[in-house]
Structure 1
Amino acid sequence: MAKIKSIDIENFGSYRGFSWNKSVIRKGEPQEFKRLNILYGRNYSGKTTLSRIISCIETKKYPDNYNNPSFSITTESGVISTNNVFSVNENVRVYNKDFIKRNLSFLEDHHNGQIETFAIIGSDNQKLEEQIKVQERNLGNIEERSGLLYERQIKLNNMNKARELEESHNSDIEKKLKNHANNKIKKNRTYGHANYNITKIRADIDKIRKNSIDILSDEEVSNLKSLTKEETLNEIIINSPYQPQSLHFHKKVEDIVSKKINPTAPIQDLLNDSILQAWVKSGITHHKGKRNTCGFCNQELPADIWQKLDKHFNKESDDLDRNITEVSNSLKSEISNLSNILGLTKDQFYSSEKSNFETYYKTYDKSLNLYKKQLDNLLNVLEKRKNDIFSSIQISPLENDGRDLTLIIKKMYELARKNNNKTKTLAQDKAEAIEKLRINDVAVFIQNIDLAKEEQKSSELKKKSESETKDLNEIDNKIEEIKKRIEELRIQQNDERKGAEKVNEYLNHFFGHKGLSLKADEDSKESTFIFKIMRGDNEAYNLSEGECSLISFCYFIAKLEDTKTKGKDLIIYIDDPISSLDSNHIFFVYSLIESVIAKPLKNSDGSNNYKYEQLFISTHNLDFFKYLKRLSHPKRKNSNNGGKSKAISDSQYFIIESGEHSSKISLMPNYLKDYTTEFNYLFHQIFLCRDSINANENHERFYSFGNNLRKFLEAFLFYKYPYQYDKNNSLERLIKFFGEDPTSTTLTNRISNELSHLEEIFDRSMKPIEIPEIPKLANFVLDKIYEKDPDQYNALLKSIGEPERVP
C-alpha cells in the first residue's frame, strides 16, 4: 500500500484551487502527510469533504451532487487523480457520514433501511486455514520466485516478447506497404490516385494472388503507358474491297500475244529484223500523207512504198497492235491505281494497334510488290509482241493471282474497324491500362520485398505468440481454479454471527453499553443472515444520535476485521466519530481507536509492527483532539550525519479552515498542538488581524474576525469577571473591561456581533468586509489586554510564538 503524501484540490465541495505546496509549509518547505495524521477543524471547515476525496479510492465513485470534481493525490507510488481514481487498487477504509449511509441506512430509515452484514473468520476454522495456506503456497509469490504466480510471470514475459516480435515484424511489413502505397503509387501520375492507401494495396495483392497475375514485359508496360496518353482519333475511312485483276489481264495478254498473223505481202527484211520492223511501223505514222522524203535520210520515198508497207502491215496486224495498246494502257492504269487500293497509314491507328499495323503492312507491301511484278511482266510481254507483231509468244502460267494481297488487305481493314471501335472504348481501355500498370507495379513490389517469405515469417511468429498465449491461459486457468478454491474455503470460514459478536464486544467492553447489541438472524429462505439492532430482547427503534454514533463506529472498527479487509495494509480515515457523544463516550472512542488500531504490536526483535499503513483522524472537538494527542505515535528511523539512525516521529498535525472562497489545509500552529485549547488559537487569529496588510495574504482571517473576537471575549471576560451583577445587561463585562470608553464598547459589540450573526442583518453578508475597522479594533482589544494584565498578554504572545511586548 502506497502512503499518501499530499493532495491538491482544484474543485471538490468546499475546496477551490487548493494547492498543497503553497499552503502546507514549514520554514519555506512543503511538508507531507505521515503515518499518523491528526486534523482539527471547526464544523463546515472541509473535514468531511477531505474524507470523501479519500473515500473515492475505496468506493470507486463520487459522492452525489459533486459537479466537475478535480483533485490529485500524490502517493509514494504515483499520482491518483480524477482521471484514474476508479482504476487504482489501494486498500482504503473511510469512516464518515457516507459510510453510515451505505452500511447502516437503518439508522436513518427504520422502514426501508438495513444494516449490511459482514463476516469475520471464525475461531474454529483452523483446518480450513491450513488448506488455504496450502493453496496459497501453490500460488506462490513473484518476489520469492515460487509457485504458479512466478511461473505465470515467466510465461507472461515470454508471451510479451513473442507478441513484441510479431508486432514488430508486422509493423515492418505494414510500413513497407504504406510507404509504397503512399510514396510510390499514390504519387505516380500515370496510374496512381489520391485515395490510394494501404487498404487498397492489400486488395491489389489479393487480386494478384487470386488471379495468378504475372509481371508484364517492358514492351507491355511501354504499350500500356502509351495507351494511357492516347487522345481520341478520327474514324478511319475504309475503301471498298480490292478485287485483283491479274487473272483477267493474264487471259487477255495470253490471247493477244499467242495470236498468229501473217502479212499479205511480207517484206522479208522486216520479218527478219523485228527491231527494224518496229522502227518502220513507227515511221509510217510520221510520213504517210505528210511528206515524200525520208525523215531519216531525206531521200525521195519510192512511189510504191505505201502499197508495199500496207500489204506487209495489213489490217489484222493493225487490229492486233491496237488491242495490244488498249490492254497495255489498262494494265498501266491498273498498276498506277495499286498505290491507292489500301488507303491506310500508321498515324491513323492508336499506339496499341500500330505494331499490328506495321506487321500487316510488311506482308501487304510484299504481296503488293509480287502482284505488281506479275502485272509488269504481262505489260512487258505485250510490249515485246507489239515490237514483233508477227511473232506469237507463249507466256508462262500466272504465279500470283492476288489472293494473298486481298487477304492481307482484308486483315488490315479488320484492324481499322477494331481501331474505330477502340475510339468508343478508349476511356475504359485507358482505365484498364492504368489498373494493369498499377497491378504490375504492386506485383513487382511484392516480388522485390519477397512478401510471401515475410508473411510466412509473420505466420510463424503468430503461431509462436499464440502458443505462448495458450501456455499463459492454461496457467491462468490453474491460478483461477486455485483462487476460486481459496475463495470457497474463505466462504466456508465466513461467519456473519462473528461479525455481530465483534461489534457487541466493542460496545460492551469499551462503552459498557449492554442495553444495545447487534444480532445476526439467519434468513432460511435466502440462506443468508440479517443484522438487527436489539435493545434487550426486542428490536430497537428510535435510537438517539449518540447511540447511532456508538453503533456505527463500533460497526466500522469491527468491519476492519472482515474477510475482505483482515490482513491487508490499510489506509484508514476516520472523520469526526464522536458526534453527539458525551465526554465519557468521547474518551471510550479514543480508547477503542488506540487499542484496536493505533497501539503497535511488538516484533520478536523489539521493533513495532503497526496495524495500519497510514491513519487519518479528523475532529472538530477539542476534548477529543486532546485525547488523540495521547495515541501511540509511530516512529521511523532516520540516519543522522554520523551514520547512526535514530527514531523520529512519524506523525503530523494539521488544521482545516474555511475561507471566503475555499477550504484550506495547513500545518497546525504549535500553540494549538501543544496547549490543546481554542483560546490560544482565537488570540492568534485576532493578533494576525492587527495589520490590514495581512488581509492581502489571508483574507479569511478578516472574514472570520467577528466570530473569533466574539468567542475570545466571551471566554476571556468570563474568566476575568466570573460574576455578572446584571443578568439582563449583555454589555456589563465589556464595559468593565474597556472602562469609561462607551464608543469603543459599542464598536466592539457591533463588529463582533454583526460579523458573526447574520440572521437579523443578512445584508451584511452581501457587502464587503470593512477591513480598516478590523485592524483598528484588533489593536484596541490587544492594547486593553496588555494594559489590564501585561503578564497575561505576554504569556499569550509566547504561546503563539511571538516575542513579548515591552513597555
Structure 2
Amino acid sequence: MRTLRKPSNILLQIDATQLRGMGSVINQIDIASFGSFQGLEWKKTVRDSGKNVKPFQRLNILYGRNYSGKTTLSRVFRSLETHKLPLNYFGSSFTVYGEKGNVAHTGLAGHSYDVRVYNRDFVTDNLSFLVNQEIGGVIKTFAIVGEQNKEIDDAIAAIEAKLGSVEGKAGLRFALEAKRKERDRAKSAYTTASNGLDDRLRSHAAEKIKKNPNFRSPVYNIEHIRRDIATTSKPGFVALTTEEQAGRLKLLKQEALPDITDTLVVALKLDSLTATAEPLLSKTITPTKAIEELLKDSALQLWVKQGMGHHREKRSTCAFCRQDLPHDIWQVLDEHFSKESGDLEASLDAAITSVTNEIGTITGLNTFAGAQFYVDERAAFEVSGKALSQALAVYKKDLEALKKSLETRKNNLFQPVALKTPSHDAQEIARHVADINALIAASNSKTATLEKDKTAARDALRLADVFAFADAITYEEELGRIATLKTTSDTAGTAFTDAEKEIRDAETEVQALRAKQKDERKGAERVNALLNNFFGHDGIKLEARDGADNATVKFEITRNGKSAYNLSEGECSLIAFCYFIAKLDDPESKGKDLIIYIDDPISSLDGNHIFFMFSLIESLIAKPVKKPDGSNSYRYKQLFISTHNLDFLKYLKRLSIPMKKLPAAEGVKAKSVSDHEHFMIERNGASSNIMLMPSYLKDYITEFHYLFHQIYKCKDQAAAAENHEPFFGFGNNLRKFLEAFLFFKFPYHDDKNDSFERIKKFFGEEEDTAVALVNRLNNEFSHLEAVPDRGFKPVEIPEIAKVANYVLDKIYASDKVQYNSLLKSIGEPERVS
C-alpha cells in the first residue's frame, strides 16, 4: 500500500505576501443565460430553511452529479480569469456580485478580481498534449520564483519601501496619489473654465447668429465665432454705429432698382441775360418834345402809354373822361414817345421774356426722386438735392431781381436803372450737380454689385454683434484666465507623469530583479515534486528541455526518461492538477489574493489517489499558516471546490475550515464562526440550479440518505408540478433504497430470491396487495427491458405517491426513532403521529 510522503521544503515555501487578510470576495451570481444555467436568481434560490439568503463564503464546497452544470459554473469564474467569454457562449448574460464591485458579462475586461480556475478548459489551454496525445499537443512552460537571494531581496525590499503605498501614507505611491488629486483638480478647473467659455460661444453662435435670418449663416459654429472674434480684435477694426447698422439692415431689404438713364444738367444763363439787360437798363434816351408832366410822373407816363394802345385809331373821345380827344393828341404823344423809346421797350420786353423763361427752367430743373436711389446713395442724394435747391433758390432770386430791374426800366423808359450784384454761387451749384450725377452713377453701379454689397452688410452686422458679445463676456480676460489655468493643469500633469514614470521605472527595476530569481526549469521540478511526494509517481515526470533555439525552454512529459505517450486518464488528471498547483507559484499568481476554483479534479482515480488529491489541496492551499501573533492566515482569498465523487466529498469534510470574527453587537460579544458553506448543483430538465446542500449530503454524505430524500419528495403528488424528476426516478430509487434498507434490516436470508423475500418479510405476508404494488414499482418501474411500452406511457403520479406514503408509513411504524433520524438528515421536521 502506497504511503503519503512528507512534502519537501520546496513545496512548503510560503511567501510572506501570501499571508494576507480576507480581502474582497465573490458573494453571489445571477445567471440569466450561460450554458445549462437559465434564469438563475441567487436571492430566490439560495436560501436556508429560514428563507435567509446565503452567500458564498471563503471556503465553498459544491456537489453535483455528472452533467449537472459544475463545469459550466466553473467557466463563469474562468471568464473572470481570462477576461473574456468562452468560445461558443455567445448571447451569455450573467452578473457576479462581490466586494470589489459587480462584474457583468459585458465588463469582463475591466474588473480587478484575481481568479485562478482549474477545469477542463485550463487543461485544454495549458496542457493540450494531454488532450491530443495522438496528434501531439504542447505544454505551456511557466516560471516560478527560484531560491531566495538576500542581496536581490534586500534591493527589492528597499525599492518597495521607496515605493510605499497609499494605505501606508508614505512613499512614491502615496505622493503620486496626492499629485493625481492635484492634477485632477487643476485639470477640472481648466476644463470647467474652458468648457464654460466654449458653451457660451457655442450658445451665442447657435442661438444669436445661426438663427438670425439677417446673417444667413446656417452652418455657423464655435470655430466660426472664434474666427470672427479674432477679426474684431485686429487693429483698425471699427464696429458699425447704431445708425450704420440700421442702414445695413435697410440694404438687406433692398431689391434691385432700374438704372437712372438721365443725368442732371444745369446751364446757368444769368450771365448772358445780365449782359443783354445791362445796356438796356443803363441806356439814356430823351423824347423829341418831352411832356414835362409825364417826365415828372412815371406812373402817369405809364398810364398814358398804356392808354395809347386803347385809343389810337379806335376812339375819338377819352374813355376815361368822355371828352373829345384833341386833334393833335397823337402828334404830341408821338413826339414824347419817340421811336428810340419804342425800340428800347421792345428790347426790354424781349429781355424780360428771356429772364422769365430762365426762371421757369430753374423751377423744374431737378426732377430726380430719392426712391430712384439705393439706400446708401439715397441719403446723400437727399442732402445734395436739398443743397442744390437752396443754391438754385438764390440763383432764382438773382433772376427775379434782374427781371424786376427790366420791368422797372420798361415802366420808366426815360429813367436808367442800376443793376444789382448777383448773390448766387455758380461753382457751388455746379458742385452739387456733379455730386448728384456721381450718386446717379454710383446707384446705377449698385445693381450689379447688390448681392455682394448685401453679403458685406451681413458680415459687417455679424461682426458688430460678435464684437458686442465678446465685450460683454470680457472674452480676452477670460482667455487669459483659462490660459493660466491650463498652465497650472499642464504643470500638475507633468508632475504626475514624472512621478508615475519614476514609480514605473522602480517597478520595472523590481521586475528585473525578480526576473533574476525566475527559473522555468523549477516549474517542472515543482510539478515533479508534487507527483512524487504526494502520489509516488517517480516514473512519470515533467522535463524542462532546451528549445530548438537553445534560448527557450519547453516542457515534455517523460516516463523513465523517455517521451511518454498513451497516458491513462488517471495519469493525465494527476499531471494536470499538479501543474495547476505548481503554477500558483508563478510570478503572475504568487503573492496575490487569489480566488481559486477547482472543478472536479477527480477523474479515473483510485481510492488512494483520491485521498492524495485531497491531501495536496489541504497541505498547499487550505491549511492555514500561523502568524507570529498566533492567528491564522490563509494562502487563498476564496476557495471553491466542486466534485461529483461522494468519496472525495467525504474527504473534503476534513479540509481546514477558515474562521471569521463577527463584530460585537449590543449585548453580544464578538465571536469567531466558520467561514465556509456547502452548495449543491442540480439539473432539472435542461436547466441547472444552485441551492444549499441538503444535510444528508453535508453531514452524512451517503447515497442511502439521498435515496430516502428522493422517495420522501414523492409522498405528495402535487409536488410533481414543480419538480417531476423524483417521480421519473422513483422506481429505481425505491429499488435501491429497499435493497440497502432491508439488507441491513435482514442481513441474512437463505432464499435465492432474498430481495423479494425481504420485502415480504418487512411489509408482511398478509398484505399481499401492498407487497404486489411495491414489487411492481420496485421492478417494472425501474426496468424497461421486459415492458418497453412503459417508456412510451406517462408516469402514474397518484400510484407513485400512494406507494411512497405506504413505504414511509411502514418504516415509521417499524422504527419511529430511525424514521425521525432519517427525516432530520434531510432537513425535515420529525413525525409525531
- Normalising by structure 1, report the TM-score: 0.92
Can you list the C-alpha shifts for 1:42-67, whole angstroms capped at 9, x where unaligned? Answer: 01111111111011111111111112
Which of 664, 676, 683 aligns to 2:689? It is 664
Corresponding residue for residue 645 of structure 1: 670
Deviations 1:404-441 (CA, angstroms, capped at 9, x unpaired): 32331232233234334445544544443333222211
Residue in 1 that maps onto 2:10: none
**Deviation of 1:777 (Å):** 4.4
- Pick aligned residue for 2:436 from 395, 400, 412: 412
Residue 277 of structure 1 aligns with an amino acid whose one-letter code is Q
Mapped to 1, the partners of 2:597 and 2:747 lie a distance apart of 41
**Residue 752, structure 1, aligned to residue 782, structure 2:** yes
| 1:250/1:398 contact within 8 Å kept | no
Q: What is the 5 A alignment of 1:70-469?
A: 70-110=93-133, 111-186=135-210, 188=212, 190-191=214-215, 196-209=220-233, 213-231=237-255, 236=260, 238=262, 241-393=265-417, 395=419, 400=424, 402-423=426-447, 425-469=449-493
Letter in 2 for 1:779: N
Aligned partners of 2:79 and 2:85 also within 8 Å: yes
Aligned to 1:681: 706
After TM superposition, the structure 1 = structure 2 runs for residues 665-744 of structure 1, keeping only pairs within 5 Å, are 665-702=690-727, 705=730, 708-709=733-734, 712=737, 715-716=740-741, 740-741=768-769, 742=772, 744=774
The match for 1:611 is 635
Counterparts of 1:691 and 1:667, CA distance in 2: 22
Q: What is the aligned partner in structure 1 of residue 52 from structure 2? A: 29
Counterpart-to-counterpart distance in 1, 2:149 and 2:89: 45
Give CA deviations for 1:210-255 in whole Å, capped at 9, x if unaligned. Answer: 5853222121122223333445556556356232222232222224
Q: Confirm or deny that 1:585 pairs with 2:615.
A: no
**Deviation string, structure 1 residues 603-658 (Cα, Å, up to 9, x no partner):** 11211111111110000000000000000001111236544222111110111101
**C-alpha displacement of 1:23:** 0.7
Which of 798, 805, 822 does residue 779 from structure 1 map onto?
Answer: 805
User: Is the Cα–Cα contact under 8 Å of residues 39 and 656 in structure 1 kept in the other structure?
Assistant: yes
Change over 3 Å in CA distance of 1:634–1:642 after alignment to 2: same
TM-aligned CA deviation for residue 465 of structure 1: 0.6
1:370 to 1:156, Cα distance in 2 relative to 1, 3 A = same
Give the corresponding residue for 1:2. 24
- Within 2, Cα distance between the matches of 1:308 and 1:199? 104
Q: Retained in 1: the 8 A contact 2:264–2:433?
A: no
Aligned match of 1:636: 660
Alignment partners' CA distance in 1, 2:460 and 2:641: 79
Superposition deviation, residue 6 in structure 1: 0.7
**CA separation in 2, counterparts of 1:415 and 1:640?**
100
- In structure 2, what is the Cα distance between the partners aligned to 1:772 and 1:736? 25
Q: Which residue of 1 aligns with 2:549?
A: 525
Cα distance between partner residues in 1 of 2:442 and 2:728 = 100
- Report the AA paired with residue 75 of structure 2: R
Quote the residue 2:20 is aligned against. none
Letter in 2 for 1:674: D
Identity score, percent = 47
Q: Partners in 2 of 1:30 and 1:142 — Cα distance?
A: 35
Specify the SS of the correspondent of 2:597: strand
Say which is worse superposed, 230-239 or 618-627, in terms of deviation.
Answer: 230-239
Distance 1:281 1:548, change over 3 A: same
Greater displacement, 307-316 / 732-741: 732-741
Query: What is the alpha-carbon distance in structure 2 between the residues aligned to residue 713 and residue 647 of structure 1?
Result: 43
Structure 1 position 550 matched with structure 2 position 574 = yes
Match of 1:217, as an amino acid? T
Following the alignment from structure 1 to structure 2, what is the Cα–Cα distance between the partners of residues 340 and 568? 109
1:19 equivalent to 2:44? Answer no
Instruction: Give the letter aligned to residue 5 of structure 1.
Output: N
Give RMSD over aligned pairs. Answer: 3.0
Task: Name the aligned partner's letter for residue 325 of structure 1.
Answer: D
Q: Retained in 1: the 8 A contact 2:316–2:325?
A: yes
Pick closer, same or farther for the CA change 1:227–1:737 going to 2, 3 Å. farther
Partner SS state of residue 327, structure 2:
coil
Of residues 718-727 and 743-752 in structure 1, the stretch that sits farther from structure 2 once superposed is: 718-727
Distance 1:129 1:144 in 2: 21
Distance 2:827 2:70 in 1: 26
SS in structure 2 at match of 1:693 = helix
C-alpha distance 62-511 of structure 1, shift in aligned 2 (>3 A): same
Does the C-alpha gap of structure 1 residues 297 and 80 become closer, same or farther in structure 2, counting only changes over 3 Å?
Answer: same
Amino acid at match of 1:652: E
Classify the secondary structure of the residue corresponding to 2:44: helix
CA distance in 2, matches of 1:613, 1:680: 33
Length-normalised TM-score, structure 2:
0.89
CA distance in 2, matches of 1:192, 1:222: 17
Q: Distance in 2 between matches of 1:736 and 1:661?
A: 41
- Does the Cα contact within 8 Å between 1:549 and 1:577 map onto a contact in 2? yes
Counterparts of 1:192 and 1:619 in 2: how far apart (Å)? 76
In structure 1, C-alpha distance between the alignment counterparts of 2:367 and 2:463, rounded to whole Å: 39
SS of 1:25 mapped into structure 2? coil
| CA shift for structure 1 position 706 | 5.8
SS at 2:109's partner residue? Answer: coil
What is the aligned length? 803
Going from structure 1 to structure 2, the CA distance change for 1:292 and 1:58 (only over 3 Å counts) comes to same
Q: State the distance in 2 between where 1:94 and 1:477 align.
A: 34
AA of the residue aligned to 1:647: S
What's the CA shift for 1:20? 0.3
Any conservation in 2 of the 1:239–1:343 contact (CA below 8 Å)? no
**Maintained 8 Å contact 2:60/2:640:** yes
Distance 1:257 1:385 in 2: 6
Amino acid paired to 2:130:
L
- Farther off after superposition, 645-654 or 704-713: 704-713
Following superposition of structure 1 onto structure 2, how do residues 494-573 of structure 1 map, counting pairs within 5 Å?
494-523=518-547, 525=549, 527-573=551-597
Contact 1:244-1:403 within 8 A present in 2 as well: no
Q: 1:283 to 1:640 in 2, by over 3 A?
A: closer
Q: Measured at CA, do residues 408 and 705 of structure 1 come closer, stay the same or move farther in structure 2, by a change above 3 Å?
A: farther
Kept in 2: contact 1:640–1:646 (CA 8 A):
no
Q: Would the aligned equivalents of 2:179 and 2:492 in 1 still touch at CA under 8 Å?
A: yes
Structure 2 SS opposite 1:86: helix
Give 2:83's aligned amino acid: K
1:63 to 79, 83, 86: 86
1:368 is displaced (CA, Å) by 0.8
Q: Distance in 2 between matches of 1:238 and 1:725?
A: 147
Q: CA deviation at 1:277?
A: 2.4
5+ residue gaps, structure 2: 1-22
Cα offset, 1:799, TM superposition? 2.3
Post-superposition CA distance 1:360-400 (Å, at most 9, x none): 12321221112112211221221122112234445356564
Does structure 2 retain, via aligned residues, the 8 Å contact 1:516–1:533? yes
Question: What SS does the aligned partner of 2:157 have?
Answer: helix
Q: Is the 8 A contact 1:247 1:398 kept in 2?
A: no
Structure 1 residue 508, shift from structure 2 partner: 0.8
Asked if 1:797 corresponds to 2:823, the answer is: yes
Alpha-carbon distance, 1:302 to partner: 1.6
